[in-house]
Each structure stands twice: as structure tokens, then as C-alpha cells.
Structure 1
């Protein structure tokens, strides 16, 4: 029998036992049961003597590949044992190697090796792991031929301002777009907001420093010939009011919907969207807590489609008298949503006429 111990205490020597449990029960519930209270540490000591290339291929029990993959995935996700994680980094299963690349306890040297692998998803995941050495992040962004690894390095929470500026000149528009989203240097943002690639301009439009751009540049993003930058700007919670009000009248439904869902929604933009010809836009607006109460009242009227009324009924900012009316709506879905919202208000004591 396998001893019960904390999930992090399991090592590569526990793999045959985990495989046996998976094969016998075919459910992950057993894995959750196995990963229980602390047990003994003999297997950890045994694992420390193993070479990284020694995956446990010699087991006395003939088990399915599926059972083996699930067992390895369990170890790759839960283990904190360095030797175990180094061994599993050489697993034949891609899913396991990705989990090792994600694991915050994976040794730095193992993460470095994974970040240099030609397999894009592994390189990307490993490069984004905070455990990657700072020197390796610099090597990736300066010298790596792998676009996936460079993108992963830019997602890494430890990446420096200097390296983001390096990435802003990357030949890949995807890398430049990520740098445009993350940069904290206004002059760099200005340059990337005028990039020839729409994907890069969209990255710049998502940056929270957009209000620091000149009105001319913000207008250029709001009037971009491609939908991507306009939609990105509409989704930006820091987007200037003037830009949102322009985008609320955009020709593209996707862009108008992004404005309707915006945390920065202005009363003027909401007023434009309340009369939008597209039901999806009005539905998004009705669900936005920043929508003015008078407009929510209008969106909850019987002449509106049920989807719009239901969104209003689920909005905690909806006036009390409107919610009570929606609780008697002809649509059972609207009534149910209104009842839930009223219940939440009563629980919090926040319902006022």
C-alpha cells in the first residue's frame, strides 16, 4: 500500500503506485485520496540517488499509457521534490513536460533546459515561469530564435523594464505586441502605437498608459482601419472618455460590444449604445454595472428582447422597482434572474427604491 503524505512529498518512486491506483479506479478521485496526510520519507531519499534520465520504465505491473500519463501528471503538478521534477522533465508525454515547465518548484537549471527546447508550448511555458534565472530571460529575449520562448519571457512577472524595451524592437509582431502591452515607457508606447502591424497597435491600445498618448494618437487608434486596435482600445479600462464615445458609434458590432462591457463606460457612450440596433450590444450594456439607472430602466422594458431584459435583471445596479417588475416578467429566465438579484440585495441589505 502507498503511504499517505502531503502531495509535495510524493516522488518519482511513488509512480508505480499512482499508476496502479489510476488503472484500478480510472478516476482522479483516487489520486486526490492518495495525496493525503504526511507519511514516511524513504522514497524521497531513494529518488535523490537517481539520475535525471531514469524514468520509471521498469515496473512489474503492466498498465495503460493513460494510467501512466495521469500518474506522471499528478506528480508533475503536485511534487516539490527537485529530483522527481528533473526526471519528469524528460517524460515522453508532452502534457507532463508542460506541467513541469509550469511548476514553481522546478529547479532553475531544468527550467533553462525546457525554455531552450524546440517544442514551442514547452519553451513558452518554461520561459514564463518566475523560477527561470534572470540571466536566462535576457539570453532568451536577446538571442533566442524561438518566438514562443520570447513571448513566454515577456509574460514572466520578473522580466525587467530594460528587457521589455529590448522586445519592443523584436522582428516578430507578436513579441512587439506583447511589449507594447507591457511597456511603462511612454515614448516606446508612442512608437508602437504607430507600428505598421495592426497586432502591435492593438497591443499598444491595451496598455494602461494610453491616456498619456497625445490626443492625435488616441484618435488614430480609435479610428484605426483595422478592427483589432479599435476593439483593444474599447476594452481598455483606462481608455479616455472621448475615445469611448467615438467607439460607441463604431461601424463594427464587436467594437461597440467592447465599449458596452467597458469598466470605463461613460454616460454619453451608454446613451449611444442604449439605442444600438444590435441586440448583443444592448445585452452587454444591460449587464454593465456602470450603466446609468435610467438607461437600465429603458433596457428592462417589455419591448426589449428577453436576452436584454435578463441581462438587466442580473445587474446589481438595476433600480429596485425595475427588479420587482422583472420578477413578474413573462419570461421565466428573466423572472429567475431578477429573483436572484433581489435575493443578493436582501442578503447584503443594499436594496433601495
Structure 2
């Protein structure tokens, strides 16, 4: 791989005439970078396909090719890409529905807006994988018909399709009104009873781990029920009975549904599986009383997930902030806090609560400034990237809390060039700070030169346009290929150098 040419192919400052020269010599790797160019013309896209045929698929997805540019017989995958984007021709769908490659028929089956005759062809395909893919994405009336398909794999796909009519989804749970399932992927391939070894040594085996069939197609039927439970179109009354089901996976799927009645939520609160209770904890369906019950649940991940519930009361959230590791993330309840609640959180005696509030990036100036002087380093670390902070405030943070906040201060969008330079000279040094400075829009040449000394920041700094051109040129021969590509893609690379790097035609 020529990393210099790959970098040049991605360089936004590369002139059109040099793009043409790259297209003329492009291989698959260079083409992959050329495809992503925002300034690639239609003529250049067509020329690139003639040079590297495999680039047609991505160019089709990018909207750089039209139906007139594609021969579906010679470029079936590109034709599929345009069909997926609703930009292909109907006759292509008819051609591809008979394609000998199963994977292409599968991909076609996932396309929307197919002609009705093509849908009918795919619905009777000889390979059940194609029919199942159609069942997963098709319109309500076709999904309802495929729910009667004799193969369990097709019914499992119907169960996951959100366009499937609610009454059909309910019927898939009970089997009422549907003919019995006759086959599944397991009994298609193995003598039953059979249980697939999770450590199966056969390289050509694609059965899911633990798949089993004793004649009742139990593993696929179980997966079908799980899909029905996860489908938001399934009627609530059809699923509530699974709260006491012996399968933990089915109860787990039920626990995440936002339409659960309170009595079902209450039963799941006492579930033996922590995973079930954790999903329930984040479910907006639970009421205040159950939230408070789960707030004391020490099961794995229950309290952390409860903190992400959009309806958790602030007093409970404050307790959770001190009881579990939530991390530097903006929680839904914090994002939705009213001005009065913001004031309350800012004055909380619990630094963990103030830290969570500091994750908001729309705080009133007076609250932002108060949090910027917080005595707790975790709070300051959380507020440091907030826009609007002055250079003096940012420097004061570093002065008080040192290495604990340096990287987050460097990430502040308003950090000045002088401050960024000083952060690269901080002792002891902070590796994360170098990476933040290297990608900062205000980084200067001295700051970037310091970043080049850090192994992880070096490739980032090599692509920064404020890097001096002679240094960029020097980096083109670096031992690290990532640095080479970044330097070649740097828009500040001198034009004569770009031209000299081009292979002669």
C-alpha cells in the first residue's frame, strides 16, 4: 500500500487535475480514499469505476453514480446499492431476483419499494435465508402471509418486523390460527434430536451456538418469541404473561418494553436475574415507587441503568451518583432538568450530583462559573470543556487541580493558542492532553510540534493544518504509516510537493 498516495487521495486541498492523475493510477486502497472526497465530480466517479470496478458500490451509496452509469449484469452489487437507495430501475430487481448468488438475493429482499412480482418471487425463493430477509423488511400484508410459512426461521423474521400487523404478532406467540411449523435451520441439516455444541469445531457450520431441535424446533421458536417481545408493534396484552416465564431471556426482553402495566413491572422488580432488573430500571414505564425500590438494588448494573431512566427523581439520582459509577456522561434526567432543578443540583452538597450537572453544555453563565471554581476535581473536570469559559478561568482550573483536569481543559473549544501551548509544557505531562491539543482548532505550530513527540498524538498532529509545511513534508517519510497518511492528507501540504509526489503517467 502506498500510504502517501492514500493520504493525498483524502487531502481536501488536492486540485482537481491531481485528483485525475490519482484516478489514473488508483488501486483499491487509493480508490477507497478517493470515494470519500466531497469534491469528486460525476465524471471523476465514472472514471474511477472504470479503473477500480469495486469502487462502484460505495460511489452508488454516496450518490455519485446514477442508473445510467450502471450495467446490472456486469455490476450487480452496484445495482443493488442503487436499488437500496431507491435510485435503481425496476427491471434490475427482476434480474437480481434470479441471481445465482444467494447473498445478492438476500440483499435484494431487504430493499424497499420492490415491484410486487419481485416480492412474490422472493417470497417463494428456494433458499429460506432469502425468504427470511424479505419477511424481516416487507410490508404488512406480505408479513402477515409469511407468518404462515412452514419454516420457523421465516416466522422468526416476521416476528422482528415492526410492520407486521399486531394481531399477527400476537398469533405468533400462541400459534393460534397458524399452521404448525414444519422445519427449522437445525432439522434442515441435522438428525433430531440435536443440540449444537457452542464450541463446534466445524469450520463450515453456521448454526447459532446452542441451537437445538427435538422435533419442536424449540430454539428457533424461542428466538421468535423473543423477537415478538422486543417488537414495539406487539400488543401489550399479548406479552404480559411472560413476566413469570421460566426463560430468563424472554423475561429480559419483556423488561425493556415501555408499555408495561405497573403490576408487571412490580413482578419484574423481584426477578432473580440482575439483567432483567437492570433493563427494567432504565424503562420509563416504572413508577416512582418502583424507582425507589430499585435504587437500593445492588445487583449488577441495576443502579447505573436506573440513573439513565428519564423519570428518575433528582433526590434518587443524587443518591445514585454517590452509590455507583456513572461516569462523565449527560444523563437524560439531567438534560431535562428545569431551571429550578439546575439551581438545586448546582447547590447540592454531593459533588457527584454537581459533576453530573456539569456535563450540560447549556448552563447559565453564573452556574457554569460557580462550577468552574468547585473544590472537587471531578466537578471541575466535568465542567472544563463547557464553552464560554475564559482563559483565566481555564488556567485557574489547572492551577488548582493540575493533571486531573489538564486534558479536559485542552478539550475546551475556547482554549486559546497560548493556553494550549502551555498545556503541552505542563509537568508532569498528560498524554491525553496532547491528543486533545493535536485536534484543537486553535492549536499553534509550537503546540503541535510538542504533540508530535507523543506517540498517540503524533498521527493527529500530522494532519493539523497549522503545522509548518516543512515539518509536514518531513513527516511524509515517517516510520509510522498513520503519520505518513495524515501528513499527505494535510491541506497545508505545499502544492508543488503534492505534484511531485504524483506518479508519472
**TM-score using structure 1 length:** 0.62
Residues 12-91 of structure 1: pairs in structure 2 closer than 5 A: 17-18=152-153, 44=169, 46-47=171-172, 49=174, 61-63=193-195, 66-67=210-211, 68=219, 71=223, 76-77=229-230, 80-82=233-235, 85-86=239-240, 90=244
SS where residue 279 of structure 2 aligns?
helix
User: What is the Cα deviation at residue 203 of structure 1?
Assistant: 1.7
CA distance in 1, matches of 2:147, 2:277: 23
In the alignment, what sits opposite 1:288? 439
In the alignment, what sits opposite 1:328? 477
The answer to whether residue 151 in structure 2 is matched with residue 7 in structure 1 is no
In the alignment, what sits opposite 1:350? none
**Which segments of 5 or more consecutive residues in structure 2 lack a partner in the other structure?**
1-126, 138-142, 185-191, 197-208, 212-218, 496-505
Residues 1-353 of structure 1: pairs in structure 2 closer than 5 A: 4=132, 5-7=134-136, 17-18=152-153, 44=169, 46-47=171-172, 49=174, 61-63=193-195, 66-67=210-211, 68=219, 71=223, 76-77=229-230, 80-82=233-235, 85-86=239-240, 90=244, 92=246, 94-102=248-256, 107-109=259-261, 112-113=265-266, 116-118=269-271, 119-130=273-284, 132=285, 136-141=286-291, 146=296, 152=305, 155-157=308-310, 159=311, 164-165=313-314, 167=316, 173-174=322-323, 181-182=334-335, 184-186=337-339, 188-208=341-361, 209=363, 211-213=365-367, 215=369, 217-221=370-374, 223-224=375-376, 227-237=377-387, 241-249=391-399, 251-277=401-427, 278=429, 280-299=431-450, 304-315=453-464, 317-319=465-467, 321=469, 323-341=472-490
CA distance in 1, matches of 2:228, 2:455: 48
SS where residue 287 of structure 1 aligns?
helix
CA distance in 1, matches of 2:164, 2:318: 53
CA distance in 1, matches of 2:390, 2:339: 16
Please tell me whether Structure 1 or Structure 2 has the larger radius of gyration of its CA atoms.
2
Considering fraction of residues, name the structure with more helix: 1
**Which segments of 5 or more consecutive residues in structure 1 lack a partner in the other structure?**
22-30, 347-353
CA distance in 2, matches of 1:121, 1:71: 18
In the alignment, what sits opposite 1:351? none
User: What is the Cα deviation at residue 312 of structure 1?
Assistant: 0.5
User: Which structure exhibits the higher relative contact order, with contacts defined as CA atoms closer than 8 Å and separated by 6 or more residues?
Assistant: 2
SS where residue 439 of structure 2 aligns?
coil
CA distance in 2, matches of 1:102, 1:340: 45
User: What is the Cα deviation at residue 48 of structure 1?
Assistant: 5.9
**Structure 1 residues 182-191 or 143-152, which shifts more?**
143-152
SS where residue 405 of structure 2 aligns?
helix
Q: Does structure 1 conserve the Cα–Cα contact (< 8 Å) formed by 2:371 and 2:380?
A: no
**TM-score using structure 2 length:** 0.46
User: What is the Cα deviation at residue 257 of structure 1?
Assistant: 1.6
Q: Does structure 2 conserve the Cα–Cα contact (< 8 Å) formed by 1:237 and 1:264?
A: yes
Across the aligned residues of Structure 1 and Structure 2, the Cα RMSD in angstroms comes to 5.2
Does the C-alpha gap of structure 1 residues 169 and 102 become closer, same or farther in structure 2, counting only changes over 3 Å?
closer
Q: Does structure 2 conserve the Cα–Cα contact (< 8 Å) formed by 1:13 and 1:43?
A: no
